[in-house]
Amino acid sequence: MRPRGLTTIALGSALVGGAAVLAVAWAAGWLNGERRTVVVQEHAPAVEVSAARGRPLLGSGFDPAHIYAARSAGVVTIFSVFGSSSSASQGSGFVVSGDGVILTNSHVVTDAGTGDGSVRPADRVYVEFRDRDRVAATIVGWDVFDDVGVIRVDPTAHALRPLPLGDSSRVVVGDPVAAIGSPFGNENSLAVGVVSATQRSIESLTSRYNLVDAIQVDAPINHGNSGGPLFDAQGRVIGINAQIRSDSGTAEGVGFAVPINAARRSMGELLATGKVTYAYVGVTTEDLTPGIARRFGYPVRYGAVIASVRPGSPGATAGLRGGSDERDFNGASFTLGGDVLVALDGRPVRSAAGVVRLVSTRLRPGQRAMFTIFRDGRKRDVPVVLAERPEDPDAGR
């Protein structure tokens, strides 16, 4: 399922009281004789995947100099070496754990998006800190669908300054942001701007599925910034800088970041199991808008019209129907005849991107989900047993 996307280019590697305290202490194992890695996040419950111990910066204003002074020590430059090459591709990353966990993009530490679909990790990875000291790192895992990579360094090899993770669901257009990374190899460079848009559905650099909920920023982001942190005004990481939009193949000032909430999910699964799984339906959808609804007589004004259903997919097995009649409406093509999806497990669906978002973030492989559709003017519920998303949706066709 991927609505029409944007033309993109890579940046990175080639481009509150005592109860809460007790809960964190128990999760960390301080009260039961066992130690575990815990993340304490602003506006979110503690989760057992990493240990970010930083706190929001004081003050209500946006102070880029303060953010840089307080956070740049937690930002690193990553060098990835493939094969016997003496040269390394370069990207950025940031420390999220006192035990050495570092977040970056998958395309910084693998060749995802550059080959025939199979993904090969770098043979050697090195992390360089602000003081130019460089240490070896190991690859924990990667998620090509959300372009997230996790690596780890020995915490005794260098002093670590974990960065606090924010809540990307609270980001709004106009929020000031700061990006720190290594554009063109210039380590620990600061760029500032504002959030230009949220919940962008954009073409992925590393898979054939769209990356949903991307944060669009106007902060200058260039080759080498990939994998670096995007900060809010309080110095909390709200995204991983990942791509730029370009029709010319050059930077044009429109950058995109993977939302930290999505990256947090990927990181948790990678640390726990070494892989990330996504639910899969096997349909493509198109936006139903009020104008289209009026023109073609749909009973609802918003939703996602199923344009096609892949043979043998969960959607096909459940009996979902795609369209077959392509029409032109106000200069854009639209596919008539398919089911209109209006809710997924009781959650409203208002667009094609909303379908991808709900399936990717709310549902799991093997789950039985209820798809509420309109077909021939009548509303009905269709149960769908979801599969695991394949890396190549066309495999076996």
For residues 339 and 288, is the Cβ–Cβ distance under 8 A? Answer: no
For 190, the enclosing helix (H) or strand (E) is strand 189-203
Find the angle CA(150)-CA(154)-CA(156) to the nearest 5 degrees: 145
Among residues 89, 226, 266, 360, which one is catalytic?
Answer: 226
- 107 in catalytic set: yes
Among residues 147, 213, 232, 287, which one is catalytic?
Answer: 147
The token pair that represents 75 in the structure block: 């930002």
Q: H helices of the chain, where?
A: 18-28, 64-71, 106-109, 260-273, 290-296, 314-318, 352-362
What gap in Å lies between CA 365 and CA 359, rounded to an integer?
10
Whole-angstrom CA distances from 361 to 1, 266, 271, 279 are 14, 11, 18, 9
What gap in Å lies between CA 4 and CA 20, rounded to an integer?
44
Whole-angstrom CA distances from 318 to 65, 321, 348 are 55, 9, 20
- 43 in catalytic set: no
What gap in Å lies between CA 128 and CA 309, rounded to an integer?
47
For residues 77 and 187, is the Cβ–Cβ distance under 8 A? Answer: yes
What gap in Å lies between CA 108 and CA 263, rounded to an integer?
15
Among residues 50, 80, 89, 107, which one is catalytic?
Answer: 107
- 147 in catalytic set: yes
For residues 239 and 197, is the Cβ–Cβ distance under 8 A? Answer: no
For 327, the enclosing helix (H) or strand (E) is strand 325-329
Which positions are catalytic?
A: 107, 147, 226
